[in-house]
Amino acid sequence: MYEVFQQRMHPLGKFAGRDIACMQKLQRNCCTSWRWKACRTFSACPTIAPTARPYDIASTILTAQGRTLHPNKLVPESPPPSAQDLNFLCKFVERSQRLVVLTGAGASTESGIPDYRSPNGAYNTGFKPMTHQEFVRSVTSRQRYWARSYVGWRRFLAALPGPTHKVLSKLEERSRIFGIITQNVDRLHHKAGSNPIELHGTTHVVVCLECGDLVHRQVVQEKMKELNSEWSKAVEMLEKGEAGSDVSFGLQQRPDGDIEIKDSFNEAFNIPHCDKCGGMLKPDVVFFGDNVPQARVDAAKSMIQAGDSLFVVGSSVMVMSAFRLVRLAKDCGLPVAILNIGPTRADELASIKVEARSGEVLPRLLSMLSLNVHPI
């Protein structure tokens, strides 16, 4: 590993004494571990100039604070569901005529997108999510967000629906599900064939905060490519597995689609503006500290009120926008079932709670419903 890293970094030129010490420390640590934190002092290396070439950017653009996790490593450890758990959930779904499903980040972990609060989640890697206030008031924060998003977008876009998305779509096709509300912004439900209410919006759409114009995220991606030609070249190198690629460093994918990048490179990133009015562009997602649009809240509430039961899948229900929906369901007399690894904010409101992987439970549940039999 050390030799590979040294070979990758060699084009940056001769190592200063400080760099050599860093490399020696990296060599000692990497013999037994994939913990790249040992080399993070490279952020202060004097050999990397502010006017770095694309190869330099590609070699140093990442924080080196983590590695890309295999989807299975993103899913928290959990014992398999018991026959009793499956039996309870099967009866719950069968008895419902208008089942509403509320999904969270745990539904997408098996697609390679981390959640926030599990042991393997983003919060446990030191990730601090962007707030609405920070995004709006700080140019530097917007540069940081869009730079990370630019690098991570293609990988985020390439994510495929997991077993949870696919099973829920099949249950919709068979009229077992009345509607889906998702807290996720990745549109994997759409890729699986569903059309859920996106409670927190989606990264696939960008909104102008001045005139309200909506454009597809890929359009903004192309604009950023035009405005940041050096970044574009660096990203191409990363995608080809060249210097600084996720093979040698490790890209840290975030739940909202961005990737961790060194702050020194964010400052040189040029941000696009609205073509119609020149206003500020923002992904059409609800950042922390922002409010869910009232029309979306009303649509979600109407779906809950029109349903006869609520099934929470892969969500800790910690954010108030989601918890209010579960509480509304309970107030309306709807039975609530929760399938999630670990505690949730709504555990006391649930009549059924199963702690297991949704990607393991739902395919088995689908099979049981198809056969119309229950395990003993």
pLDDT of residue 232: 78
pLDDT of residue 267: 65
Residue-by-residue DSSP string for 212-253: --EEEHHHHHHHHHHH-HHHHHHHHHHHTT-TT-TTTT---B
Those residues whose C-beta lies under 8 Å from the C-beta of residue 214, and which sit 6 or more positions away, are: 205, 206, 207, 208, 284
User: Distance of alpha carbon 177 from its chain centroid, rounded?
Assistant: 25
Number of other residues whose CB lies within 10 A of the CB of residue 138: 13
* Cβ burial, residue 232 (10 Å; 0-12/13-18/19+): middle
Q: Can you list the residues of the chain whose pLDDT is less than 70?
A: 1-76, 115-128, 238-267, 372-376
pLDDT of residue 20: 33
User: Distance of alpha carbon 82 from its chain centroid, rounded?
Assistant: 29
109 — alpha (psi -120 to 50), left (phi > 0) or beta?
alpha
pLDDT of residue 329: 98
pLDDT of residue 70: 46
Which tens digit of pLDDT belongs to each residue from 44-64?
Answer: 333 333 444 443 444 333 332
Distance CA 304, CA 149 (A): 33
pLDDT of residue 265: 59
pLDDT of residue 338: 98
* Cβ burial, residue 229 (10 Å; 0-12/13-18/19+): exposed
Residue with tokens 């040698």: 248
User: Starting at the edge strand that comes first in sequence, how are the strands of the sheet with 201-208 ordered?
Assistant: 214-216, 201-208, 281-285
pLDDT of residue 4: 30
Residues with catalytic roles: 200
pLDDT of residue 112: 87
Which tens digit of pLDDT belongs to each residue from 227-278?
Answer: 998 777 777 776 665 544 443 333 344 555 555 555 555 567 899 999 999 9
At position 195, the amino acid (one-letter code) is: N
Q: What pTM value is reported for the model?
A: 0.74
